[in-house]
C-alpha cells in the first residue's frame, strides 16, 4: 500500500493492469477521497502523458454522478489522482 503525506489510506479497492485504486481520507478537512495511482514504479513518458490527459478530461466534466477530480500530485516517480468518493456521498441506507 502507498503512503501519502496528506492522506490516510483506508483500503485498496481495485487493481488493474495500469493502476491501483485506494479509498482514503484527505487529512486537511477530513474529506473522503478515492486515490488512483499509476502502478508502474517508473511509468513511461507516454503513460504519464495519458494519465495527465485523463486528469484534464475528468477535471473538465461537471456532470452529476461523475466523480469530481480534486488534484493530480507527484508521488515518488509517478502520479496520484485524487477524486471525490461517490460512495460516501451516495451511501446506501
Beta bridge partners of 24: 9, 33
Instruction: Flag whether 20 is in a domain.
Output: yes
Q: Which domain holds residue 62?
A: 7-89
> How many separate domains does the chain show?
1
Residue 2 domain flag: no
Count the alpha carbons within 13 Å of 34 in the hemisphere toward its beta carbon: 18
Within a domain: residue 59?
yes
The predicted-structure confidence for 68-89, as pLDDT tens digits, reads as follows: 999 999 999 999 999 999 986 5
Q: What is the mean pLDDT of residues 9-25?
A: 95
pTM, full prediction: 0.88
Residue 81 lies in a domain: yes
Q: What is the pLDDT of residues 23-72, one digit of tens each?
A: 999 998 899 999 999 999 899 999 999 999 999 999 999 898 889 999 99
What confidence score (pLDDT) does residue 37 get? 95
For the domain that residue 57 is a member of, what is the CATH number?
3.30.200.20
Residue 12 has pLDDT above 80, yes or no: yes
Residue 1 forms part of a structural domain: no
Amino acid at each position: 500500500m502507498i503512503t501519502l503525506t496528506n492522506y490516510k489510506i483506508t483500503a485498496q479497492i481495485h487493481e488493474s493492469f495500469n493502476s491501483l485504486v485506494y479509498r482514503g481520507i484527505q487529512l486537511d478537512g477530513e474529506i473522503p477521497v478515492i486515490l488512483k495511482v499509476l502502478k508502474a514504479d517508473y511509468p513511461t513518458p507516454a503513460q504519464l502523458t495519458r494519465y495527465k490527459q485523463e486528469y484534464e478530461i475528468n477535471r473538465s466534466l461537471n456532470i452529476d454522478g461523475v466523480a469530481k477530480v480534486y488534484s493530480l500530485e507527484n508521488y515518488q516517480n509517478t502520479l496520484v489522482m485524487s477524486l471525490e468518493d461517490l460512495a460516501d456521498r451516495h451511501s446506501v441506507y
